Amino acid sequence: MTALAALIRRDIQIALRVGGGALIGVLFFLTVVVLMPFAVGPDLALLTRLGPAILWLGALLASLLTLDRLFMADHEDGSLDLIVMSRTPLELACAAKALAHWIAAGLPLVVATPVLGLLLNLDAPSTSAVALTLLAGTPALTFTGMIGAALAVTMHRGGLLLAVLVLPLSIPVLIFGVAASQGAITGLSFGAPFSILCALSLFSFVIGPFAAAASLRHGLD
Amino acid sequence: MPERLLAKPATTIRDTMTLIDLANPTKFLSLTARVLPWLVAATATLLAIGLYQSAAAPDDYQQGATVKIMFIHVPNAWLSMFVWAVMSLAALGTLVWRHPLADVAAKAAAPIGAAFTFLALVTGSLWGRPMWGTYWEWDARLTSVLILFLMYLGLIALWRAVEDPSRAARAAAVLTLVGAINLPIIKFSVDWWNTLHQPASVMRLSGPTLDRAFLIPLLVMAVAFSLLFLTLLLAAMRNEILRRRVRSLQMIQASQRVA
Amino acid sequence: MMSLGPYASFIVTSYALVTAVVLILIVWIALDYRNQRQRLRELDESGVTRRSGRSPGDLR
């Protein structure tokens, strides 16, 4: 098994264990979606209109929540130093970790979306549209969030600073994610925002690992 | 002893300076000391001229006298992006060439840029109230400047989160460059989002071709504010160099006490 | 005095805010300068020397 595959497998296993945090994200997603109607009111028509936006916002906040453990746990037990020093290029190692994080924390959000869509009075085609855009967009959230996680890992106050750093970078993903969802629901332009969303994800696959690797190298010496 | 080798000769500072000399913080300090008074004078003069011309400018046929806000709003908006560009160049200097003054320039520029961005938002909002009827309008330009302001705040928070100056500089450099790459993406996204959710009223300026009566005060103010930024930047860089000197001397002092 | 029209307060507030923030920047930088010079002078008096052999209070 190559080093990268081993890294991915290890990260997924750790995340899925109790206390590993993968399912905390889903729980938080559920909380946000459940709280929304209490804030907005039980008007079903309004909830349907807001549905895609609420789902996207919940997914974004949930993935933000789980991002800081991307590097923190490894940093605390010293394995981050080993990863940085190993022969595998650090950029690829960061990409592998982000991929593992997305599988363990991002995919469950996508899977949970149809169920939560019911709470927001979204019908099956609409929820599937939102789920599809989340599938395309959550990788972008994870890979750009990784940059903030790498910057914050060497600072022990991490946490809130990470959120502040990452949020402006996730706004384009949010905009196009919701636009694509609305496009699919109303039957108007879905293709254009969806392709841009995919483009943002692909772009983040490149920028994220490079920036995260640079941050780790400069921050850990 | 190493100190002897590092000691500067007793001769005075050379009159001519080459570009490479600017990398030396000490030379930079003496350069600043000589240049700063001239910069202050030039900035003050241009600001005075610009203000006079803004006051004397005619009323716009649609906006009336509120067009005068444009003369301070546009330079601030332009500077908010220009300062990020300057910080990005400094970030490259830190990461690629390890230029010692790049760290100093980047750290000094951040709060100044944040102030200009804040002013762009506030003057834009005050300009918007007569135009659109509300203080805040999710107009594409205001929204992207708001996001830029949040990025400035995040950057300043990052600078303050790390104790060691050179580590802080490298972390901030990465964030600055990532931000720079993202700025066009953010602008494009917000434009898209804004056209999708077209607001009820659309703001019209006096047209894309600005009349000379407005263009000249605007350009003068733009240059004046740029000089203001340069002046403040050099002064702040000087402070930062002194601050680092204080820090290293305090560490020497602390180690001497222990020894 | 020129007539600033019905929205005079907006125009005046904008210019006043810009002036205020610029002044705050100037004052902050000037005070910081005084602070650092003061600290360097104190370090000088307590006898610390720089690598170059110059005194801390020397600006060069």
Instruction: Kindly state whether residue C52 falls inside one of the protein's structural domains.
Output: no
Question: How far is the alpha carbon of B242 from chain C, nearest alpha carbon, in Å?
Answer: 6
Instruction: Identify whether the C-beta of residue A71 lies closer than 8 Å to the C-beta of residue A153.
Output: yes
Neighbours of B87 (CB within 10 A): 28
Distance of CA A40 to the CA centre of its chain: 25
SS3 of A187-207: CCCCHHHHHHHHHHHHHHHHH
DSSP annotation of B14: P
Is the minimum CB–CB distance between A12 and chain B shorter than 8 Å?
no
Is the minimum CB–CB distance between A185 and chain B shorter than 8 Å?
no
Instruction: Identify whether the C-beta of residue B58 lies closer than 8 Å to the C-beta of residue B213.
Output: yes
Provide ipTM, 2 decimals.
Answer: 0.88
Q: Which residue of B has its CA nearest to A148?
A: B175
Count of domains for chain A: 1
pLDDT at residue B12 tops 50? no
Instruction: Kindly state whether residue C41 falls inside one of the protein's structural domains.
Output: yes
Best residue in B88, B163, B189, B194 to probe A by mutation, most A CBs within 10 Å?
Answer: B189
pLDDT at residue A204 tops 70? yes
- Residue C16: list chain B partners with CB under 8 A: none
Across the strands, what pairs with C2? Answer: none
Instruction: Kindly state whether residue C42 falls inside one of the protein's structural domains.
Output: yes
Give the residue numbers spanning the domain of C15.
7-47
- Residue A200: list chain B partners with CB under 8 A: 185
pLDDT value, residue B15: 44
Best residue in B249, B250, B252 to probe C by mutation, most C CBs within 10 Å?
Answer: B249
- Residue B186: list chain A partners with CB under 8 A: 168, 171-172
* Residue A27, SS3 per DSSP: helix
Contacting chains of B (3 CB pairs or more, <8 Å) are A, C
Question: Tokens 């855009």 sit at which residue?
Answer: A133
Quote the Cα angle for B165-B170-B176, to 5°. 115
Mean of the per-residue pLDDT values of chain A: 88
- Residue C19: list chain B partners with CB under 8 A: none
- The band of B10, judged by pLDDT with boundaries at 50, 70 and 90, is very low
Instruction: Identify whether the C-beta of residue A60 lies closer than 8 Å to the C-beta of residue A170.
Output: yes
* A28-45 residue pLDDT tens: 999 999 998 899 888 888
Report yes or no on whether pTM surpasses 0.90: no
DSSP annotation of B251: H
> What's the residue count for chain A?
221
Count of domains for chain C: 1
Instruction: Compute the distance between CA of residue B167 and CA of residue B163 in angstroms, rounded to an integer.
Output: 8
Cβ-count burial B178-197 (b if 16+ within 10 Å, e if not): bbbebbebbbbbbebbbeee
pLDDT value, residue B203: 45
Instruction: Identify whether the C-beta of residue B55 lies closer than 8 Å to the C-beta of residue C8.
Output: no
Decide: residue A212, CB within 10 A, 0-12 exposed, 13-18 middle, 19+ buried: buried
Give the residue numbers spanning the domain of A188.
3-220
The two tokens of residue B121 are 């938002």
Q: Do residue C36 and residue B246 have CB atoms under 8 angstroms apart?
A: yes
* B90-122 residue pLDDT tens: 999 999 988 889 999 999 999 999 999 999 999
Question: Tokens 């690629």 sit at which residue?
Answer: B96
Nearest to B222 by CA among B61, B24, B19, B74: B74
Instruction: Kindly state whether residue C23 falls inside one of the protein's structural domains.
Output: yes
The two tokens of residue A91 are 């950029």
pLDDT value, residue B7: 46
Instruction: Compute the distance between CA of residue B86 and CA of residue B186 in angstroms, rounded to an integer.
Output: 19
When CB atoms are compared, the residue of C2, C32, C43 closest to B55 is C2
Let me know if chains B and A touch, i.e. at least 3 Cβ pairs under 8 angstroms: yes
Q: Which residue of B has its CA nearest to A158?
A: B161
Instruction: Compute the distance between CA of residue B171 and CA of residue B165 in angstroms, rounded to an integer.
Output: 10
Question: Tokens 């580590």 sit at which residue?
Answer: B167
Let me know if chains C and B touch, i.e. at least 3 Cβ pairs under 8 angstroms: yes
When CB atoms are compared, the residue of B147, B154, B167 closest to A219 is B167
Torsion of CA A37, A40, A45, A49, to 10 degrees: -100
- Residue C52: list chain B partners with CB under 8 A: 6-8, 26
* Residue B61, SS3 per DSSP: coil
Instruction: Identify whether the C-beta of residue B62 lies closer than 8 Å to the C-beta of residue B226.
Output: no
Instruction: Compute the distance between CA of residue A130 and CA of residue A113 in angstroms, rounded to an integer.
Output: 8
Nearest to A119 by CA among A57, A23, A27, A31: A31
When CB atoms are compared, the residue of A157, A171, A215 closest to B186 is A171
Q: Do residue A168 and residue B175 have CB atoms under 8 angstroms apart?
A: no
Contacts of B121 (CB under 8 A, 6+ apart): B142, B145, B146, B149
Nearest to A10 by CA among A81, A89, A86, A103: A103
* Residue B139, SS3 per DSSP: coil
pLDDT tens, per residue, chain C with 60 residues: 567 778 888 899 999 999 999 999 999 999 999 999 999 999 888 877 776 767 777 766
- Residue A215: list chain B partners with CB under 8 A: 171, 174
Contacting chains of C (3 CB pairs or more, <8 Å) are B
* B130-184 residue pLDDT tens: 877 777 878 788 888 999 999 999 999 889 888 888 888 998 999 999 999 888 8
Instruction: Compute the distance between CA of residue A169 and CA of residue B179 in angstroms, rounded to an integer.
Output: 8
Instruction: Identify whether the C-beta of residue A93 lies closer than 8 Å to the C-beta of residue A172.
Output: no
* A131-170 residue pLDDT tens: 999 999 999 999 999 998 888 887 766 667 777 888 888 9
